[in-house]
């Protein structure tokens, strides 16, 4: 976690200006960063941090009694390999997601307002298992653009656990045939 100063006001952000610069130096497609003035880069970092902090995260804030400035660091989380995260630091993936979001905002600051957190599932079918999706609006993302989402998806609330029924291959029996396995035979209301 770092801070940026805009017009004499300090803002807490994920990452640092130097970290943002170094990350963009190694990223293809960073023209919007290269073309931006310093103040706009800082504003993009603040906006990206706010975008991240509007999400519902697994785990708990490290210091719930003394309000910490941002949602991260958090306790009770593991990385994608199941190893416990250090609850005293912001994971590098969160900082890098912030840089990715900041880059998106430098290219189009309306993106944070265009994002949908709803589902784009149009239809689900059990026989001959299918999922049909609504076609998304060009430029809109489920929660974050893919490059940022892939970095933090493990910690977004509701990402894990059982999320639906399963069906085996053509030669195996499907759980749909069982007596209402996990209550899924009732469907969703």
CA 29 to CA 146: how far, in whole Å?
15
Tally of domains in the chain: 1
Q: How many CB atoms lie within 10 A of CB 104?
A: 24
Report the chain's mean pLDDT, rounded to a whole number. Answer: 79
The pTM for the full model equals 0.71
Range of the domain at 163: 2-186
Residue 189 confidence (pLDDT): 42
The per-residue pLDDT for 36 is 97
- Sites in the chain below the pLDDT cut of 70: 113-128, 130-142, 159-189
The per-residue pLDDT for 91 is: 97
What phi and psi values does residue 58 have, to the nearest 5 degrees? -70, 170
């Amino acid at each position: 976690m770092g801070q940026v100063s805009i017009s004499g006001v300090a803002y807490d952000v994920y990452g640092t200006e130097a970290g943002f610069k170094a990350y963009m130096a190694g990223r293809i497609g960073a023209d919007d960063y290269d073309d931006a003035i310093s103040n706009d880069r800082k504003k993009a970092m603040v906006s990206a941090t706010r975008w991240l902090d509007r999400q519902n995260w697994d785990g708990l804030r490290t210091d719930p009694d003394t309000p910490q400035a941002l949602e991260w660091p958090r306790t009770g989380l593991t990385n994608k390999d199941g190893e416990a995260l250090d609850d005293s630091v912001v994971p590098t993936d969160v900082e890098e997601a912030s840089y990715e979001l900041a880059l998106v905002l430098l290219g189009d600051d309306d993106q944070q307002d265009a994002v949908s957190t709803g589902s784009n599932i149009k239809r689900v079918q059990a026989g001959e298992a299918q999922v049909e999706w609504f076609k998304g609006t060009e430029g809109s993302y489920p929660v974050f653009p893919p490059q940022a989402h892939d970095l933090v998806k493990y910690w977004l609330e509701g990402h894990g656990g059982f999320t639906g029924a399963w069906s085996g291959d053509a030669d195996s029996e499907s759980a749909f045939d069982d007596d209402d396995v996990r209550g899924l035979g009732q469907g969703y209301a």
